[in-house]
Amino acid sequence: MRSLWLLTKKNLKLLIRSKSSGLVIFLAPLLIILILGLSYSSSSNYGLNIGIHADSFTEDVDSLISSLQEQEFRIIKYESDVEECIEDIKQGFIHTCVSVPQDLKVEDNQQKEITFYIDPSEINLVWMIQETLGSKFNLKSQEISKQLTGEIINQLDDTKNKVSEKSSELNQVKEKSSAASSSVTSLKENIENIDLEVPIIVYDAGIVNSFKNKLSSEVEDSINAVSNARNDVENAEIEGGNGAILNSLNDAEKNLNKLLAMVEGNNSGYGEISSLVSSLQHDLIQAQTKLMSASETMSSTSSSLDSTTASIQDSLTAMTVVQQGLEEIKSNLESQKVTEVDTIAAPLVTKIERISPESSFLNYSFPGLLVLVVMFSSLLLGTTLVMMEKNSPAFFRNYFLPLQKGTFIISTYLTNSIITIIQIVIILGVSLLFLKGNPLVMLPVAGMLLISSTVFTLMGMTIGYVFRSEETGTLASISLGSFLLFVSGLILPLESISANIRKITNFNPFVISEKVIREIFIFKAPVQTIWTDILTLLGYALILFVAIIVIDILIHKHFKERFNKHRHKENRHKEKIEKNNA
């Protein structure tokens, strides 16, 4: 136990006495936790770049955009073509594309469809987008649903008011109808009370006799006149003779005599008429009496009917008003266009569209895994090779070789690259067994991996040049790799970290490499779409190369000084011991 403790104590001492080890041991965890803390402690919302596509950006769409912007989402509008929006997802400019209808108001029974275009290879981001935006659109849907329900309730309320209002009209109709009914009843009674029996009354026939006498007198006068006329005619010299006229006058005299005979006769003509007139006179008197009575009844009935007509007229008016009210209610109810339960309950429906063909999870995570493997192997290999050279006994001899500093650095890089190429060939070769796809796609992927490995190798080499012991260098490489991995979005989505740190992580070579390889591998992106990222990586490589040369110059100087100083001290110490011994 004691020996175990002694050994442990010795190890701790050795670690602490090496300044760089001490720094890495204590500062690396502090630094990592500090950076991760700063990165993920943000309570702000996800920093998603959302492309909104709509045929036109109406007030509704703008209001939706504003509500998304309130949550710190960065919104990019696409008015022209949804394809442009999808292309930008592939290029990583935006995280998702949401195609919304220009009008979110639900006016018919059709649900409004909102389509999300997502990149399924961004596995952890997909769920996050679905979760955050889905909830946002659910809210919007609830809002619209609430609005629709509100409209229905308002209309029902209006209907209720109108029905209450028209109910009084109906009471009036009821009263008026009741009045009309009683009027009609009264009329019926009145009509029933009319007496149509004819009373027997005797009329005066003297009038007819008087008429007969006058007529007889007149006829006799007329006969005399005709006789006088005939005499005149007979006396008169009439050219062509008076025969014809005399004949006519004779005829007229005869007829008048006949008429006189009829008026004077008892059994025919006058007698019959006289009796008839008498009976008529009698009947007429009776009819007159009854009609007088009926007239009175009718007069009172007419007045009842007038009042009934007025009541009915009032009822008709009231009925018209009620009818209008009902028409209004009907049109009010008809104005509620959304009547489908589904549409009211969920006016907005979301639809998810993948922007790449559906594949296995391995396909989606393959770019990330590739970069992960290449990053760690390159970082560690870079560090190890530099450390091997630095700690090699031959390191001192290299100072005397007529070679430029860059030659050593490039040779280390080339060694790394050869090993990395072999690794890449193996990884991609084996991957072809699991990933169904065009093997030719692997060529640009391999090229890109080589560029990525260049950056990571140079990073590893920088660590190798900075740190003194191999253990410390390895620890630093692993720490750096872990850090780059943590802020790459492979484990935790980048969009969940604070905005400022997120901006910096966009420059993370892991993020750039993974993005480019994903674009090549999944979207078959052409070079012109990824060249800026490639240039960025090459820029990193150049900067790191220059940094290594600078560090190498400083380290060489430092190494020489340290080498001699250390040796000088060692010798002084040796000398002291020798003196003491002497």
Partner 1 sequence: MKLIELKGVVKRFGKVIVLDDVNLSIEEGDVIGVIGTSGSGKTTLLNLISGFLHPSSGKVLHSFHVTQGQVSMQKNLHKIKDKIGFAPQHNSFYPKLTVVENMLHFGQLYGLKKETIVNNVDSLLHATKLHHHRNKLAQHLSGGMQKRLDISCSLVHKPKILILDEPTDDLDPILQREIMSFLKEVNKQGVTLVIASHNLDLLEKICNKIAIVHNGKVKDCGLISDFRRPFLKEHFTINLNVSDNKEKILSYINNLHVSKIIDKGHHIVVYPHNAAQTISSLLNIIDEEDLYDIDIRRPSLGDIFERITMEES
Q: Which residues bind partner 1 (CB under 8 A)?
A: 392-397, 399-403, 560-561, 564-565, 567-575, 578
Strand partners, 117: 97, 353
Dihedral pair phi/psi, residue 47, rounded to 5°: -85, 70
**Nearer CB in complex with partner 1: 239/578:** 578
Query: Could you tell me the smallest distance in angstroms from the CB atom of residue 11 to partner 1?
Result: 25
**Nearer CB in complex with partner 1: 357/402:** 402
Please enumerate, as own/partner, the contacts of 551-557 that have beta carbons within 8 Å and a separation of 24 or more: 551/462, 551/465, 551/466, 552/405, 552/408, 552/409, 552/465, 553/405, 555/465, 555/466, 556/399, 556/405
**Nearer CB in complex with partner 1: 59/575:** 575
3-state secondary structure of 99: strand
**Nearer CB in complex with partner 1: 214/574:** 574
Q: How far apart are the first and last CA of the chain?
A: 41
Instruction: Report the distance separating Cα 348 and Cα 245, nearest Å.
Output: 117
Pairing of strands 112-118, 96-99: antiparallel
**Nearer CB in complex with partner 1: 386/428:** 386
Query: Could you tell me the smallest distance in angstroms from the CB atom of residue 582 to partner 1?
Result: 11
**Nearer CB in complex with partner 1: 339/391:** 391
Structure tokens given for 129: 């987008």
Dihedral pair phi/psi, residue 74, rounded to 5°: -95, 125
Answer yes or no: are the C-beta atoms of 248 and 317 closer than 8 Å: no
Query: Could you tell me the smallest distance in angstroms from the CB atom of residue 565 to partner 1?
Result: 5
Amino acid, single-letter form, for residue 43: S
Query: Could you tell me the smallest distance in angstroms from the CB atom of residue 22 to partner 1?
Result: 22
Q: Which H or E run includes 50? A: strand 49-53
**Nearer CB in complex with partner 1: 254/572:** 572
Query: Could you tell me the smallest distance in angstroms from the CB atom of residue 405 to partner 1?
Result: 11
**Nearer CB in complex with partner 1: 4/394:** 394
**Nearer CB in complex with partner 1: 254/574:** 574
Query: Could you tell me the smallest distance in angstroms from the CB atom of residue 19 to partner 1?
Result: 17
Number of residues that this document lists for the chain: 582
Query: Could you tell me the smallest distance in angstroms from the CB atom of residue 121 to partner 1?
Result: 44
Environment class of 157 (CB within 10 Å of its CB; exposed 0-12, middle 13-18, buried 19+): exposed
Query: Could you tell me the smallest distance in angstroms from the CB atom of residue 412 to partner 1?
Result: 14
Query: Could you tell me the smallest distance in angstroms from the CB atom of residue 37 to partner 1?
Result: 40
**Nearer CB in complex with partner 1: 165/561:** 561
Side-chain half-sphere CA neighbours of 520 within 13 A: 27
**Nearer CB in complex with partner 1: 5/400:** 400
Owner of token pair 């006994």? 393
Buried/exposed 386-425: b ≥16 CB within 10 Å, e otherwise: bbebbeeeeeeeeeeeeeeeeebbeebbebbbebbeebbe
DSSP 132-197: HHHHHHHHHHHHHHHHHHHHHHHHHHHHHHHHHHHHHHHHHHHHHHHHHHHHHHHHHHHHHT---P
Q: Where are the alpha helices (DSSP H) in 200-269?
A: 206-235, 243-264
Query: Could you tell me the smallest distance in angstroms from the CB atom of residue 385 to partner 1?
Result: 13
**Nearer CB in complex with partner 1: 292/403:** 403
Instruction: Report the distance separating Cα 120 and Cα 126, nearest Å.
Output: 6
Instruction: Report the distance separating Cα 59 and Cα 104, nearest Å.
Output: 9
Query: Could you tell me the smallest distance in angstroms from the CB atom of residue 88 to partner 1?
Result: 52
Owner of token pair 């008016």? 317
Q: CA 33: distance to chain centroid?
A: 44
Query: Could you tell me the smallest distance in angstroms from the CB atom of residue 388 to partner 1?
Result: 9
Structure tokens given for 205: 């026939």
Query: Could you tell me the smallest distance in angstroms from the CB atom of residue 566 to partner 1?
Result: 10
